[in-house]
Amino acid sequence: MISYKDLGLVNSREIFKKAIENQYAIPAFNFNNMEQMQAIIQACVETKSPVILQVSSGARKYANQTLLRYMAQGAVEYAKELGVNIPIVLHLDHGDTFELCKSCVEYGFSSVMIDGSHHPYNENVALTAKVVEYAHKYDVTVEGELGVLAGVEDEVSAEHHTYTQPEEVEDFVKKTGVDSLAISIGTSHGANKFKPEQCVRNEQGILIPPPLRFDILEAIEKRIPGFPIVLHGASSVPQDLVAVINKYGGALKDAVGIPEEQLRRAATSAVCKINIDSDGRIAMTAAVREVFATKPSEFDPRKYLGPARDKLKELYKHKIANVLGSNNRV
Ligand code: G3H
Ligand code: 13P
Ligand code: ZN
């Protein structure tokens, strides 16, 4: 059993409390390799932002849980070396079983998500409560989910949104004891969050998606005032980066995300954790494609992963300062 406290990590309780009181959201960035980790830590140190490092089941399979945990431990030291001791949470993203959550708690994670949203309500409650009971023994915080995002949530595919029902949240939070709640109000995972027919096109041919359901968010906030809310699927799919990818041989068709103004609005509410993964993938891919297309004789990975890391860092700094508002909070 490794305690996250010995690794210099923190759970999410205090940082969420501050974020809600001061109307900003904490970035939750996914990572599975060193360049992503460097970009995240450099961006958060330079902007003085707390951060949640997220590991999905896929990342765990790809990079190995032990290596990822040591990387998070290294991130704590790296941030100090860069001069700012930012709060760092190591979080399991979309945990789907009790055993996986338990294993992460034992490996030094400071926070876990148990995503029981695809199960019937009572099963979701029972599974989430079981994870909470175990995790809280070690002061590890737990995120639950109610409502299903359209698109692919890990290996489970949901064709349509099932919006969170505000009538359920109070009972869910009370019965499970979760520390935060992911909700479904119109966001979804990936780079194609909406079908073109769900959007309208502006004069430049850019797809404008339907707005998030702020009415549902407000109804949820009324029922559980001050309770930490999480938004998954919150990439905005920057069109300038999509254009770079497509210019240099990529084929991202009809890619569309959540407009940043809407995420900004959400960040000033009880939404205190905003998950961003796809935008980072897009930024890195754009940078790598540009190097491959414009410098075809390069074959040193540092010559394309370096620019990818720089692009990623620039994106994260922008998100922190202009969308989430978590800069200058440490
Ligand atoms: O919500 C999913 C995250 O973007 C992680 O994606 O399962 O491909 O690692 P992944
Ligand atoms: P995006 O695909 O919109 O980046 O969402 C990431 C996410 O929710 C990770 O859990
Ligand atoms: Zn997610």
pTM of the full predicted structure?
0.97
What pLDDT was estimated at residue 150? 81
Is there an atom of ligand 2 within 6 Å of 278 CB?
yes
Q: What is the mean pLDDT of residues 34-43?
A: 98
Tell whether domain 4-320 is in CATH 3.20.20.70.
yes
pLDDT of residue 154: 46
The residues placing their C-beta within 5 Å of ligand 3, an ion, are 232
The ranges assigned to domains in the chain are: 4-320
- Of all ligands present, the nearest one to the C-alpha of 282 is 2
Please write the tens of the pLDDT for every residue from 188-228: 999 999 999 999 999 988 889 999 999 999 999 999 999 99
Closest ligand to Cα 233: 2
Q: Region 269-284: what's the mean pLDDT?
A: 98
Residue 153 pLDDT: 54
Integer Cα distance of 139 and 128 in angstroms? 16
**Catalytic annotation on 93?**
yes
- Residue to mutate (ligand 1; options 64, 92, 154, 193; most atoms within 8 A of CB): 154
Q: Could you tell me which residue, 195 or 130, shows the higher pLDDT?
A: 130
Residues near 300 by Cβ (< 8 Å), separated by ≥ 6?
none
CA 77–ligand 2 middle distance (angstroms): 27
pLDDT in tens, 1-34: 999 999 999 999 999 999 999 999 999 999 999 9
Task: Please give the torsion angle defined by the CA atoms of residues 78, 71, 263 and 177, in that order, rounded to the nearest 10 degrees.
Answer: -120
Note whether 255 and 262 are within 8 A (CB): no
